[in-house]
Copies of this chain bind each other. A is one copy, B any other.
Amino acid sequence: MDFKIQKKLKNSLGRAGILKTPHGEIETPAFVPVGTKASIKALTPEQVADLGAEIILSNTYHLYLQPGDETVAKAGGLHKFMNWQGPIMTDSGGFQVFSLGAAYGKEISKITTATKITDPSLLIPERFDDSDAPRLAKIGQDGVSFKSHLDGSVHYITPEKSIQIQHNLGADIIFAFDECTSPTEDLKYQEEVLERTHKWAERSLIEHKKLSGGCALFGIVQGGRDENLRKKSAKFIGSLEFDGYGIGGSFAKEDMSTAVKWVNEILPEERPRHLLGIGEPEDLFMGIENGVDLFDCVAPTRIARNGSLYTKNGKVNIMNAQYREDFSKIEEDCGCYTCKNFTKAYVAHLFHGKEMLAATLASIHNLYFIVNLVKKIRQSIFEDTFFEFKKEFFKNYFK
């Protein structure tokens, strides 16, 4: 995998570049839509490509359980299975371990309060409201045993197994197996977790080298909100021969920029960095300014399915009564399929009527908005107008 930095942002860690993968190039910074179960919800692959996405991410945990990584391998790999011609990433399943284990039943992983959003089906609030619920995952030094949320079957995932599964799935970029550090645990426990994540990173790398295949492996930096742990993790993970780096974690929004900065000041500059599970507009500006190249997040499609739509003047809920007879577009100057062809009144009608097309049209608009916001930020880096663009965007978006 080849990564080339084309332009750097003055007085910050930000940069624009090009990442080459076996299935095509990605202009970075880039937003990566999430297709948890080998499908970007409610969209065909063509609709995803048409809105400007160059790469997508699928979830190892879900695909391992169903249809099974071996089934995907028999199908010829994820690209062929889901008919997505461009680059694909798979996460390692580590965040699901966190969701089912340390975070299970706690507020910290809720979409409504957390900033780390990776997994749509596991993160639905109901699953986390009952704090007395038993944890579904048990973490040991060698790996994690967990019960399938689908049929209760018991599974055991080690770093080696995670890498094998991901090689079976056949993405272009895969991730080392990690354990997300819970910010609610004490420092001693967090140190232990980080130690384990680092060992798992080494083991992931060894297994990855054993298996032939053209995919790239990204290591994941953890360490929560603690400066020492974050820096320690960045130093350690950055010293290993990964093709790129993921920045993981479940942190409060206000801690995110400091944590990302600590990490990216240390990680090797010449390799790509992916901020896992983050994708709100303000976080994209923050991440890019602090040296992030890639983002993924379920938020654009998830909130779309609830009728919440991004506009440059902030989010609007299309279910509001005022839109029932609003025959203007969601955004007049938006170039997405939805805005080119339909009015707010029609999209509102589809939501009121519980029509499936509502989710499709809303998801297209939101993904287009986010994917193209990152493209515009990229352009502003080349034009040396990043900070003006950010200021102007925030002025409208948060007014």
Interface centre among A38, A41, A359 (most CB of B within 10 A): A38
Q: Which residues in B have their C-beta under 8 angstroms from that of A315?
A: none
Pairwise interchain contact B83-A342, C-beta atoms closer than 8 A: yes
Contact of A39 among B83, B341, B350 (CB under 8 A): B350
- Indicate if the CB atoms of B359 and A356 lie closer than 8 Å: yes
B356 and A356 contacting across the interface, CB-CB below 8 Å: yes
For window 345-399 of A, CB contacts with B under 8 Å fall at 345-346, 348-350, 352-353, 355-357, 359-360
- A83 with B357: CB separation less than 8 A: no
A274 to B: closest C-beta gap in Å: 25
Does residue A189 face the partner (Cβ distance < 8 Å to B)? no
Q: Are B83 and A349 touching (Cβ within 8 A)?
A: no
User: Is A81 interfacial (CB-CB < 8 Å)?
Assistant: yes
Task: Determine the residue in chain B with the shortest Cβ distance to A325.
Answer: B71
- Are B37 and A355 within 8 A (Cβ)? yes
The 8 A CB mask of A56-67 against B (1 = contact, 0 = none) is 000000100011
Residue-by-residue, is A2-43 near B (CB-CB < 8 Å gives 1, otherwise 0)? Answer: 000000000000000000000000000000000001110111
Q: Note all chain B residues with C-beta closer than 8 A to A324.
A: 67, 71
We find that the number of chain A residues with CB closer than 8 angstroms to chain B is 37
Q: Point out the residues of chain B lying under 8 angstroms from A352, CB to CB.
A: 66-67
A29 to chain B, nearest CB (A): 28
* B74 contacts A355, C-beta separation under 8 Å: no
Q: What are the residues of chain B within 8 A of A75 when measuring CB–CB?
A: 327, 343, 345-346
For A83, give the chain B residue with the smallest CB separation.
B341
Residues in B neighbouring A81, C-beta threshold 8 A: 343, 345-346, 349
The answer to whether the Cβ of A239 comes within 8 Å of any Cβ in the partner chain is no
Judge whether A266 is part of the interface by a CB distance below 8 angstroms: no
Residues of B within 8 A of A359 (CB): 356
Chain A 328-352 interface residues, beta-carbon cutoff 8 Å to B: 337, 341-343, 345-346, 348-350, 352
Contact A41 B355, CB 8 Å, known A66-B349, A67-B345, A67-B349: yes
Q: Give A45-75 interface residues, CB cut-off 8 Å to B.
A: 45, 62, 66-67, 71, 74-75
Residues of B within 8 A of A82 (CB): 346
List of 8 A-B pairs having minimum Cβ-Cβ separation, nearest first: A42-B356, A37-B353, A67-B349, A83-B341, A39-B357, A39-B355, A81-B346, A75-B327
